[in-house]
């Protein structure tokens, strides 16, 4: 009976996306592997102090992720150019201030730009801590508020939801609102800021001709080198530019920014938080392969599959590890370790087997020794918690009922996690 039910569930899940059916979903078929130890240097030396981690091992791991996985990104442009295009101090029925701010990504006011939508709670005693995340469908899709500017950037077509001729239309307002608990966040005293990821780099492979990349080519360069940024790194770089802006907005507490993302944008929030220590908290929602999930498990989506379906996401060098995960000098637990000792939350969904929930949990577990070396309580669990039973220490984790998505259950946990870590700070 139990077996029959399990098999039925597995078939239903695979039918949800038939192209995923040929991949491994059998725990017994996960290959045997040895993970690189985050606390042993490339020269084989054991890391025994926080200082040795900060000065030697962390930079070593960061450089490996830059050169082998996501690609190196350029430095921030000199002098941030921003333009506030909207302010309403009585937004969301009077409880929030809405701002829309254009950030010019090359520091020139005729260059590429991204628009940040921000809701700041009016009921607050000082600058507001903020959740910052990229969105998939345009800022206007996160809430039905008619004053949000409709993105003018390229979008994927989806006529049913109001995306036609690669442009967003009025019909698409609020199309993603179930994933953005804007009112709940504001009611709890947090600001929420979001940017359409397509403002930074449209999400299709065109050999890096559009988006931000060409603006940083040197000389006759026509595409990034094998160790230079792919799209995930570019999106992450855009998140850091939003943080640059927060540093000059007195309504935002830029020392308490939680960077959040779902799926490919969860991979992006992890890389943003790993590379930019100004992010005080990092949240990965169902980030899967190339995000929180351990690549060596090859459970669900694999390195080869992701590099084939999405050749623009990672750097050229990452393709060396197609079907050769063991050859990669890093695995994704080391990405989590790069965030230490800052709080990180990894969230999985039970039906999201493509993203390998167990592999996502194990990354947190295997990053735990680094978190402990740095004086925190780490993950505080030695096995995967039950469904819908979050564990929240300096590393947070949950696997919730349901599919690949961002739900109010997820946001409820993130708000609790932020209260725990941000409110205890002297604010």
- Distances in Å between the Cα of 284 and the Cα atoms of 58, 194, 239, 274, 427 are 20, 15, 14, 12, 25
Name which of 118, 106, 136, 116 is nearest 195 in CA terms. 116
Q: How near is the Cβ of 182 to ligand GTR at its closest, in Å?
A: 21
Binding to ligand GTR by CB under 6 A, coded x per residue (else -) over 137-156, reads --------------------
The smaller minimum CB distance to ligand GTR, of residues 253 and 331, is found at: 331
Instruction: Rule CB under 6 A: say whether 307 interacts with ligand GTR.
Output: no
Catalytic residue flag (residue 205): no
306 binds ligand GTR (CB under 6 A): yes
Task: State in angstroms the smallest separation of the CB of 301 from ligand GTR.
Answer: 5
- Residue with Cβ nearer ligand GTR (254 or 267): 267
Nearer to ligand GTR, 97 or 268 (CB): 268
Report the residue number, 60 or 204, with the smaller CB distance to ligand GTR.
204
| CB closer to ligand GTR, 136 vs 279 | 136
Structure tokens at 354: 């493509």
Please say whether the beta carbons of 307 and 283 come within 8 A.
no
Should residue 289 be labelled a site residue for ligand GTR when binding is judged by CB under 6 A? yes
> In 3D, which of 102, 272, 293, 260 has the Cα closest to residue 179?
260
CB distance 98 to 75 below 8 Å = no
Contact in structure between 86 and 100 (CB atoms under 8 Å): yes
Smallest gap from Cβ 286 to ligand GTR, in A, equals 8
Applying CB under 6 A, does 202 fall inside the site for ligand GTR? Answer: no
Residue-by-residue DSSP string for 344-371: EEEEEETT-GGG-HHHHHHHHHHHHHHH
From the CB of 218, what's the least distance to ligand GTR, in Å?
A: 30
Nearest Cα to 373, choosing from 39, 64, 63, 41? Answer: 39
Instruction: Tell me how far, at minimum, the Cβ of 354 lies from ligand GTR, in Å.
Output: 6
Contacts (CB under 6 A) with ligand GTR, residues 36-95: none
Catalytic pick among 115, 263, 284, 348: 263
Cα 297–301–305 angle (5° rounding)? Answer: 115
**274: exposed, middle or buried (Cβ count in 10 Å: 0-12, 13-18, 19+):** buried
Closer CB to ligand GTR, residue 104 or residue 271?
271
SS3 (DSSP) at 284: strand
Does the active-site annotation cover 404? yes
Does the protein bind ligand GTR through residue 288 (CB under 6 A)? Answer: yes
Size of the site for ligand GTR (CB under 6 A): 6
- C-alpha angle with apex 113: 111 to 116, nearest 5 degrees? 160
**Tokens for 347?**
């969230």
Nearer to ligand GTR, 47 or 265 (CB): 265
Q: Is 232 one of the binding residues for ligand GTR (CB under 6 A)?
A: no
Helices (H), 176-225: 182-187, 197-200
- Select the residue interacting with ligand GTR from 139, 172, 231, 263 (CB under 6 A): 263
Q: Would you call 302 helix, strand, or coil by DSSP?
A: coil
**Are the beta carbons of 359 and 304 closer than 8 angstroms?**
no
| DSSP H or E stretch at residue 414 | helix 408-422
CB of 290 to ligand GTR, least distance (A): 7
What's the min distance (Å) between Cβ of 20 and ligand GTR?
Answer: 8
301 binding ligand GTR? (CB under 6 A): yes
Binder of ligand GTR out of 173, 264, 312, 421 (CB under 6 A): 264
198 binds ligand GTR (CB under 6 A): no
Least distance in angstroms from the C-beta of 289 to ligand GTR: 5
**Which residues are within 8 A (CB) of 280 and not within 5 positions of it... i.e. 6 or more apart?**
255, 256, 257, 258, 342, 343, 421, 422
57 vs 264, which CB is nearer to ligand GTR? 264
Question: What are phi and psi for residue 311, nearest 5 degrees?
Answer: -65, -15
- Among candidate residues 140, 262, 398, 404, the one labeled active-site is 404
In 3-state terms, what secondary structure has residue 421? helix
Told to check if 357 binds ligand GTR by CB under 6 A, we report no
Binding footprint of ligand GTR on the chain (CB under 6 A): 263-264, 288-289, 301, 306
Annotated catalytic residues are 263, 404
């Amino acid at each position: 009976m139990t077996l029959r039910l399990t098999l039925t569930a597995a078939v239903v899940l695979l039918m949800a996306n038939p192209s995923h059916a040929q991949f491994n979903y059998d725990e017994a078929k996960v290959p045997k592997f040895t993970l690189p130890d985050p606390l042993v240097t490339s020269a084989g030396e054991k890391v025994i102090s926080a200082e040795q981690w900060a000065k030697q091992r962390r930079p070593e791991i960061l450089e490996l992720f830059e050169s082998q996985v996501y690609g190196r990104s350029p430095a921030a442009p000199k002098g941030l150019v921003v333009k506030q295009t909207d302010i309403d101090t009585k937004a969301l029925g009077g409880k929030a201030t809405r701002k829309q701010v254009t950030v010019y990504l090359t520091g020139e006011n005729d260059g590429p730009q991204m628009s940040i939508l921000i809701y700041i709670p009016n009921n607050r005693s000082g600058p507001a801590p903020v959740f910052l995340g990229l969105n998939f469908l345009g800022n206007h899709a996160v809430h039905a508020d008619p004053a949000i500017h409709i993105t003018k950037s390229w979008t994927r077509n989806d006529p049913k939801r109001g995306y036609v001729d690669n442009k967003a239309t009025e019909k698409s307002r609020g199309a993603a609102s179930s994933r953005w608990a804007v009112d709940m966040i504001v009611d709890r005293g947090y600001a929420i800021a979001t940017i359409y990821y397509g403002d930074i780099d449209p999400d299709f492979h065109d050999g890096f001709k559009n988006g931000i990349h060409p603006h940083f080519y040197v000389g006759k360069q026509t595409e990034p080198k094998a160790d230079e940024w792919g799209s995930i790194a570019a999106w992450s770089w855009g998140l850091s530019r939003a943080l640059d802006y927060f540093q000059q907005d007195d309504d935002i507490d830029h020392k308490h920014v939680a960077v959040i993302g779902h799926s490919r944008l969860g991979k992006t929030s992890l890389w943003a938080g790993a590379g930019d220590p100004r992010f005080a908290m990092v949240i990965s929602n169902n980030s899967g392969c190339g995000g929180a999930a351990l690549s060596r498990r090859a459970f669900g989506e694999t390195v080869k599959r992701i590099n084939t379906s999405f050749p623009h996401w990672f750097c050229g060098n990452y393709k060396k590890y197609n079907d050769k995960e063991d050859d990669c000098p890093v695995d994704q637990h080391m990405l989590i370790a790069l965030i230490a000792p800052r709080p990180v939350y990894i969230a999985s969904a039970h039906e999201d087997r493509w993203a390998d929930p167990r592999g996502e949990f194990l990354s947190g577990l295997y990053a735990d020794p680094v978190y402990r070396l740095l004086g925190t309580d780490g993950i505080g669990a030695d096995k995967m918690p039950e469904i819908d039973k979050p564990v929240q220490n300096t590393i947070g984790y949950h696997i919730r009922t349901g599919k690949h998505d961002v739900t109010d259950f997820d946001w409820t946990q993130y708000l609790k996690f932020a209260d725990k870590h941000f409110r205890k700070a002297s604010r």
